[in-house]
Amino acid sequence: MKNFRTATLLGGAIAAMGLAIAAPAQAGTMAGGWNYTVDNYNDGSGGEKYNIRGFAIKETDEEIFIGLTGGIDLDGHDGNTIGWGDLVINFSPETDFNDMIEDYGSYTNSQKVYDVKDEYKDSLLAIRFAPNDQGGEYGVYSVDSFKGITMENSGYKTIQHYDNKGYLKDSYAMGDLSTKAEVKDYFGTNQRILNVVEDGTKIADITQLGTLDLAAEGLDFTQVAGGTVGDYTLGFKVSKSAFEGYLPGGISNYMAHIFLECANDGVALAGNFTMPDEGNDDAVVPEPSALLGLSAMGLAFFTRKRRQSA
């Protein structure tokens, strides 16, 4: 079990903060205020119990809501110790995750922990919301290093290992990383899958939400084309103040992703946050229609940059 150092929680909510989450670059859909992505339904190695079906994010004036649906509950499959890894949010999504990790070569049995490069430590946040091998408190963390715990959970060493077994599909491969090529560009092919935080600083708490709580917020995966509900729907909410000091004013694109502890499945969701200018508490939040237009431009740039670097 890893003990995380805990920082003082960030201050009060940012009064004028607006968080606009656009339709992602590939498979995502905006519906009822939620930004949805659908994951391939036949890529859960081990069957439905290790299958992720969907991932969604919604914002209000003061909070961010995150929902997941699939075959695995918050506490793992039928009380099994194999459950959810940590949710990772990359606020420099024009840079692939594998390029943000120090000394991140091919898979080795000996090295399980990898540091985040110094220049990207302000770009990666992670959220622990479910019990996993690392222990530690639930909450939002800045990240110094990640760890791969897939093999301890009878899972896959690398993305290529997962592909070799026939589970990496070329349609909705990992939600908004919708093809094999996009998944391999972003995570690498023969690098250890890193699915939990090893060292980090807790910067904010989260509030767990059950199925009924999420339904009351309008979460409904059947609203989107191809969307279905798994055996379990779970999630949490985070105060927008958690991102104070980590995002500049204006639009910040992101790519969020999560793997199960065994890496039998994973999913990614693209979008963007719109933040007020620092020091301008009276910043005007654009109307939703304007935000969608800005979001589309931002994500088009993000997609173009990724393809140029491929």
8 Å CB contact between 68 and 299: no
Confidence of residue 10 (pLDDT cuts 50, 70, 90): very low
For the segment 209-235, the average pLDDT, to the nearest whole number, is: 93
Please give, one letter per residue, the 3-state secondary structure of the chain. CCCCEECCCCCCCCCCCCCCCCCCCCCCEEECCEEEEECCCCCCCCCHHHCEEEEEEEECCCEEEEEEEECCCCCCHHHCCCCECCEEEECCCCCCHHHHECCCCCCCCCCCEEEECHHHCCCEEEEECCCCCCCCCCEEEEEEEEECCCHHHCCCCCHHHHHHCCCCCCCCCEECECCHHHHHHHHCCCCCCCCEEEEEEEEECCEEECHHHHHHCCCCHHHCCCCCCCCEEEEEEEEHHHHCCCCCCEEEEEEEEEEECCCCCEEEEEEEEEECCCCCCCCCCCCHHHHHHHHHHHHHHHHHHHHHHC
| Residue, of 158 and 224, whose pLDDT is higher | 158
- Percent of the chain past pLDDT 90, that is, above it, reads 62
Question: Which is higher by pLDDT, 249 or 91?
Answer: 91
Give the residue-averaged pLDDT of 261-282: 77
Pick the closest to residue 228 from 25, 48, 8, 4 (CA basis). 48
Each residue of 130-151: pLDDT tens digit?
999 998 999 999 999 999 999 9
Query: What pLDDT, on a 0 to 100 scale, did the predictor assign at position 221?
Result: 95
Question: Quick one: pLDDT at residue 288?
Answer: 42
pLDDT of residue 59: 83
Instruction: With a cut of 50, say whether residue 166 has pLDDT above it.
Output: yes
- State the chain's mean pLDDT as an integer: 82
More confident residue, 305 or 79: 79
Q: Are 276 and 104 in contact (CB under 8 A)?
A: no
Mean pLDDT of 247-255: 75
Is the pLDDT higher at 197 or at 302? 197
pLDDT, position 287:
43
Domain boundaries along the sequence of the chain: 5-309
Strands 124-128 and 207-209: unpaired
Tokens coding 61: 């004036």
Rounded Cα–Cα distance for residues 182 and 190 (Å): 14
* Mean of pLDDT values over 43-60: 92
| pTM: predicted TM-score of the whole model, two decimal places | 0.84
Round the CA-based radius of gyration of the chain to a whole number and report it: 18
Asked if pLDDT for residue 79 goes beyond 90, the answer is no
Look at 16 and 289; give whichever has higher pLDDT.
289
Evaluate whether 274 touches 119 at the Cβ level (below 8 Å). no
